[in-house]
Amino acid sequence: MRRLHLPAAYDTARWPDSHWRATAPPPVRAPFEGPAEAGVAVIGAGYTGLSAALALAEAGVPVTVLDAGQPGWGASGRNGGFCCKGGAKLSDAQLVRRFGREETAAFLRFQDDAVAHVGATLERHGMDAERGPDGEVCLAHSPAAWAAMQAEAEARRALTGRAPRLIPAEELRQEGLAMAGAHGAEVDPVGFPLHPMKYVLGLAAAAEAAGARVCGGSAVTGLRPEAGRWRLDTERGPLLADKVLVATNGYSAEDLPPWIGGRTLGAYSTILVTRPLTDDERQAQGWTSQSMAYDSRRLLHYFRLLPDGRFLFGMRGGLSARPEAQARVAREAREDFEAMFPAWAGVETEREWSGLVCLTGSLTPYAGPVPGAEGLWAAFGWHGNGVSTASYAGHLTGRRMAGEALRLPAPIATPPRRFPIPALRLPLKRLAYALIGWREGRPGRHQAPL
């Protein structure tokens, strides 16, 4: 298989040193043994694949899930635990220009429904995934960002009839949201934090209870049509299926299937978690809220206080699996953490890890049939907001594959285009990151005029 990144990025024998795995060790699923058959084969045991498998199994469709690692090894078990709106890397205005107001409004409703779907799934299956308080906060990192935030709030009201609550800078501390350099904030009431590993393991257990077969350590090495069905090759034998869902997101191979090649870009996100903070330490910084939060930079930072008092801090920006590159990004994440939360500069990092988020050439997600390949489906491209979007898209895709006539909004139903020069994706992304970093400035450092 052809991969975009170095082999280390896809080495399923190496687990990230994450807080999530330390607090919810995942059980091992046995590898697939072939030959065997299924109505639907799902490649990838993350939120997308498991949500689809659960929907298929509940509809009575025989389904087998194959994962090169184990449920929770990839992004679904190593993200920040933000069940929030999102999925595209385009603004509302850009979505309107590309898809029109009606389809954009439908996509925004889809995002609300996605969050509600995760909440309902947790409740229906009795999953204890440490659900936190509702709401998500975005903090303006500059005066220009605060002005844009206020203007966009009114634009959102015109589009959906609802706008986020705005908090001026002088009121952030009393809201428990004091971050150095913040010029204001907006609060969206939709969304909630959770324990991502507990959630993905809950999905796996629910899918199995409904009749799905979930196999770990079962990398798919080949995928091709055979006698009107699809043949998936693994080292322990083939699986024949009527339909296939490729749900590998940022860990996709360029040639599984070839159609996906050049359409995705896996970009790194790095997370650190501190030791538990004392009440006095939280008060000293002025951050006491357990709400999900992020800043308004394009190379954003995201952070939240965990239920046990630890603080999670994440940052976009890495592009390589090389140890020296990973170490550099981890140092930068720590520096930014200390600049944004200076009262905690002496608080130790307890764990640090990274993983891949998935961008597409259209900067929009996709869930639907692979054009020109009968029975082959794909769902990917959550742009760092996969907890809700991937779950709901996977659920609806499973129902569609089971025969339901469901229509998705155009921003998620339109196949994404390839990146303009696929071979240069990483160098061009590195250049773009450098330019964005120069224009926006890192916390505590000079910011170029916008």
3-state secondary structure 202-244: HHHHHHHHCCCEEECCCCCCEEEEECCEEEEEECCEEEEEEEE
Quote the crossing angle between the two packed helices 47-58 and 196-209, to the nearest 10°.
30
The yes or no reply on domain 7-440 and CATH 3.50.50.60 is: yes
**191: Cβ–Cβ under 8 A, 6 or more apart, which residues?**
82, 83, 84, 85, 115, 134, 135, 136, 292, 388
Give the integer Cα–Cα distance in Å for 394 and 209.
Answer: 18
pLDDT of residue 406: 97
Give the integer Cα–Cα distance in Å for 284 and 309.
Answer: 14
Give the integer Cα–Cα distance in Å for 405 and 285.
Answer: 52
Coil/strand/helix, residue 174: helix
Strand partners, 184: 168
Give the domain ranges of the chain: 7-440
Q: Is the peptide bond before 257 cis (omega within 30 degrees of 0)?
A: yes
Coil/strand/helix, residue 354: strand
Give the integer Cα–Cα distance in Å for 365 and 117.
Answer: 18
Residue 159, Cα to own-chain centre: how many angstroms? 25
Compute the Cα dihedral for 346, 352, 358, 361 and give only its sign: positive
pLDDT of residue 439: 81
Contact indicator for 353, 16 with CB cutoff of 8 Å: yes
Cβ-based burial of 119 (10 A; exposed 0-12, middle 13-18, buried ≥19): middle
Strand partners, 301: 315
Give the integer Cα–Cα distance in Å for 92 and 4.
Answer: 30
pLDDT of residue 447: 40
pLDDT of residue 154: 87
pLDDT of residue 448: 34
Residue at 126: amino acid letter: G
Give the integer Cα–Cα distance in Å for 287 and 305.
Answer: 8
Of 246, 241, 236, the C-alpha closest to 38 is: 241
Compute the Cα dihedral for 311, 316, 319, 325 and give only its sign: negative
Contact indicator for 73, 377 with CB cutoff of 8 Å: no
Strand partners, 41: 64, 244
Q: Which two tokens stand for residue 46?
A: 């993350």
Q: At residue 228, what are phi and psi to the nearest 5 degrees?
A: 80, 5
Q: Is the peptide bond before 35 cis (omega within 30 degrees of 0)?
A: yes
pLDDT of residue 325: 87
Give the integer Cα–Cα distance in Å for 370 and 307.
Answer: 41
Mean pLDDT by 10 residues, the chain (450 residues): 92 96 96 97 98 98 98 97 96 96 97 98 98 97 95 88 93 98 96 98 98 98 97 98 98 96 94 98 98 94 98 88 89 96 98 96 98 97 97 98 98 97 89 82 54
Of 62, 392, 40, 76, the C-alpha closest to 210 is: 62
Give the integer Cα–Cα distance in Å for 51 and 428.
Answer: 34
pLDDT of residue 318: 76
Burial 276-312 (b: 16+ CB within 10 A, else e): ebeeebbeebbbebbbbbbbbbebbbbbbbbeeebbb
Coil/strand/helix, residue 428: helix
Of 277, 347, 270, the C-alpha closest to 305 is: 277
Give the integer Cα–Cα distance in Å for 229 and 235.
Answer: 20
Give the integer Cα–Cα distance in Å for 446 and 262.
Answer: 35
Q: Which two tokens stand for residue 392?
A: 């709901």
